[in-house]
C-alpha cells in the first residue's frame, strides 16, 4: 500500500467514527480528569468493565462527555460535481466546521449509496418467499435504515416491501428518536419500522427463540464493544486474566493478574487457540527458552457475548457487519490492541495506555475477521472446540470477508461516489475496513 493510502486511512479512521451512545443528560461543558479513579472503586474490575465504563458511563463516559447532535447531512454529497480528492477534502472540512461535530459515519457521507449497496446484498441473498425481517444494531441517525427501506421500496416486488419489518436495536433513547424522524421522512416506512431501546447483548431483550429467517446489520459496532485483556509471563506460561485496580493513594491505576476464572474469557481464548494448539506447542516451547518474553492478548469478549446471544435468539439469522480491519499507529502493546484517542484544541491525541482514558478518550479496536468467523461458527453450534472438527459435520454458516471497495463494487453503485477526476472516496479511502457476510446453510447436524 502506498504511504499516502496508509496515512489517509489513519486520518479517515478517526474522521469516520460512529457514536454508539448519546447520553440523555445535558451536555457537559467541563471535564474532570479524575474519572478513571471513579471507574475503579475499592474492588478491582475486569478490563472489559473498565472499558465499558470509560466509554458508556452515563455521567462521565466518553460518549456522554462528548455528547452532541448526531452527524446528519442536510443533503447528499454530489460527488460527480467535485473535481477530485482535494475538492472532496475541502468540502468535507467545510461540512465539519458548519456542523461542529466530531465525525460522520460512512453511511451518512455516502448516502444513499452506501445503504443501497447493503440493501442489494440482502436482496440477492434473502429468501423473498417469506416476509423480510431486518434488525440493525446501533442504528445511529437512521440513515442506513431509511436508505435500505428506500431501495427495497423502489427495487423489490411490492409484496416484499409491504410485508417487510425493520427493527432498530438502539441503546440510546435520544438516538432512537432521531431514527424515527429520519425514517419517518417517507410516510409509508413508519408502519414497517420500529426502535427497541435496549442493549442487544442482553438475551432477555430478544424474547423467545425466533426460528424465522432474518437479517442483522452491524455497522461500526464491533470496534467499540468491550474487550478483555489476557497476560502471560512467556510464550508457554498459562494465560492470566487482567483486572484493573486502584492503588492505595487513589490517583493511579495498575493491572492485576489473576488465574483464568471468567467463563467468557476462557471461551474466547479457547476459540483463538483451538486451531493451532497441537501443531505449534513444540515450536513455542523451544522459542520461549531462547527468547522468553511476556505476552498480551486483547480478547473481543463483547463480540463473543453478542454473537452468543444472537445465535441463541435468532438461529436462522444472516449477518452483515462492517468495521476496521486494522488501525495504524497503535502504540498500546498486545495483539489486537486498541487505539485510545481524544481531541484537544482541534487535534487528535493518542494515549500510550488504555488506563490513561479518563472518560475523555475514544477506545476502539480493530476487528480480527478471521477470529470473527471462528466465533461465528462456534456460536452457531458447528465448531466444537474440544470435539470432532471433521468436515462431515457440515458447516452451519456460509461466510465471506470482503474489503469495502470489493463489497461496494459487487453490490453498490460506485459510479455515484466517483469525482470528475476519477477519485472515489468510498473505494479509495477505506483500505482498513472490511465487510463480513454470514448466512445459514441447510446443514443442521
Determine the Cα angle at 380 with ends 165 and 390, to 5°: 145
Mean pLDDT computed over 260-280: 81
The reported pLDDT for the residue numbered 352 is: 92
Task: Round to the nearest angstrom and report the end-to-end CA distance of the chain.
Answer: 43
Mean pLDDT computed over 267-271: 93
Q: Pick the residue with more confidence: 293 or 170?
A: 170
Q: How far apart are CA 315 and CA 336, in angstroms?
A: 28
Mean pLDDT computed over 285-296: 70
Estimate to the nearest angstrom the gap between the alpha carbon of 77 and the chain centroid.
25
Over residues 180-205, the pLDDT tens digits come to 999 999 999 999 999 999 999 999 99
The reported pLDDT for the residue numbered 250 is: 63
> Any idea which of 37-41, 270-274, 399-403 has the lowest mean pLDDT?
37-41
Q: How far apart are CA 323 and CA 435, in angstroms?
A: 7
**Cα atoms in the Cβ-side hemisphere of radius 13 Å centred on 413:** 12
Q: Please say whether the dihedral angle defined by the alpha carbons of residues 54, 55, 57 and 59, taken in this order, is positive or negative.
A: positive
Over residues 311-335, the pLDDT tens digits come to 999 999 999 999 999 998 899 999 9
Q: Are strands 165-170 and 193-197 parallel, antiparallel or unpaired?
A: parallel
Highest mean pLDDT (candidates 70-74, 156-160, 379-383): 156-160
* C-alpha cell, 139: 442504528
Angle between helix axes 404-411 and 113-125 (nearest 10 degrees) is: 70
Over residues 360-391, the pLDDT tens digits come to 888 999 999 999 999 999 999 876 654 544 44
Q: What is the DSSP track for 241-300? A: EEEEEE-TTSS-EEEEEEES--HHHHHHHHHHHSTTTTTSHHHHHHHHHHS---EEEEE-
Amino acid at each position: 500500500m502506498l504511504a499516502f493510502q496508509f496515512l489517509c486511512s489513519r486520518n479517515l479512521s478517526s474522521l469516520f467514527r460512529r457514536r454508539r451512545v448519546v447520553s440523555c443528560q445535558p451536555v457537559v461543558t467541563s471535564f474532570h480528569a479524575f474519572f478513571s479513579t471513579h471507574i475503579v472503586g475499592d474492588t478491582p474490575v475486569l478490563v472489559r468493565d473498565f472499558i465499558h465504563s470509560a466509554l458508556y458511563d452515563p455521567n462521565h463516559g466518553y460518549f456522554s462527555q462528548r455528547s452532541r447532535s448526531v452527524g446528519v447531512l442536510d443533503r447528499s454529497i454530489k460527488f460527480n460535481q467535485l473535481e477530485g480528492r482535494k475538492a472532496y477534502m475541502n468540502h468535507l472540512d467545510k461540512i465539519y466546521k458548519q456542523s461542529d461535530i466530531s465525525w460522520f459515519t460512512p453511511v451518512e457521507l455516502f448516502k444513499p449509496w452506501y445503504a443501497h449497496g447493503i440493501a442489494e446484498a440482502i436482496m440477492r441473498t434473502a429468501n423473498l418467499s417469506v416476509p423480510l425481517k431486518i434488525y440493525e444494531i446501533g442504528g445511529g441517525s437512521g440513515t442506513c435504515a431509511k436508505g435500505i427501506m428506500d431501495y427495497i421500496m423502489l427495487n423489490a416486488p411490492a409484496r416484499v416491501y409491504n410485508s417487510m419489518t425493520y427493527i432498530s436495536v438502539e441503546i440510546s433513547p435520544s438516538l432512537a428518536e432521531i431514527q424515527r424522524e429520519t425514517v419517518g421522512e417517507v410516510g409509508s416506512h413508519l408502519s414497517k419500522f420500529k426502535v427497541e431501546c435496549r442493549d442487544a447483548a442482553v438475551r432477555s431483550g430478544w424474547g423467545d427463540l425466533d426460528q424465522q429467517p432474518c437479517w442483522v446489520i452491524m455497522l461500526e459496532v464491533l470496534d467499540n464493544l468491550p474487550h478483555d485483556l489476557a497476560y502471560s509471563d512467556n510464550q508457554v506460561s498459562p494465560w492470566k486474566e487482567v483486572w484493573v485496580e486502584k492503588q492505595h493513594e487513589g490517583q493511579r491505576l495498575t493491572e492485576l493478574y489473576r488465574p483464568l476464572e471468567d467463563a467468557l474469557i476462557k471461551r474466547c481464548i479457547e476459540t483463538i487457540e483451538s486451531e493451532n494448539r497441537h501443531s505449534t506447542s513444540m515450536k513455542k516451547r523451544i522459542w520461549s527458552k531462547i527468547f522468553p518474553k511476556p505476552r498480551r492478548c486483547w480478547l473481543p469478549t463483547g463480540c463473543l457475548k453478542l454473537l452468543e446471544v444472537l445465535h441463541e435468539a435468532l438461529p436462522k439469522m444472516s449477518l452483515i457487519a462492517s468495521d476496521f480491519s486494522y488501525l495504524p499507529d497503535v502504540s498500546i502493546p498486545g495483539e489486537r490492541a486498541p487505539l485510545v484517542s481524544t481531541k484537544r484544541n482541534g487535534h487528535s491525541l493518542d494515549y500510550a495506555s488504555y488506563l490513561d482514558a479518563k472518560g475523555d478518550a475514544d477506545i476502539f479496536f480493530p476487528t480480527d475477521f478471521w477470529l470473527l468467523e471462528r466465533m461465528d461458527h462456534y456460536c452457531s453450534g458447528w465448531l466444537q472446540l474440544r470435539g470432532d472438527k471433521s468436515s462431515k459435520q457440515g458447516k452451519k454458516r456460509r461466510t465471506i470477508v470482503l474489503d469495502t471497495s470489493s463489497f461496494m463494487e459487487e453490490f453498490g453503485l460506485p459510479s455515484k461516489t466517483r469525482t470528475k477526476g476519477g477519485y472515489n472516496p468510498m473505494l479509495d479511502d477505506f483500505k482498513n475496513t472490511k465487510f463480513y457476510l454470514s448466512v445459514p446453510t441447510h446443514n443442521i447436524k
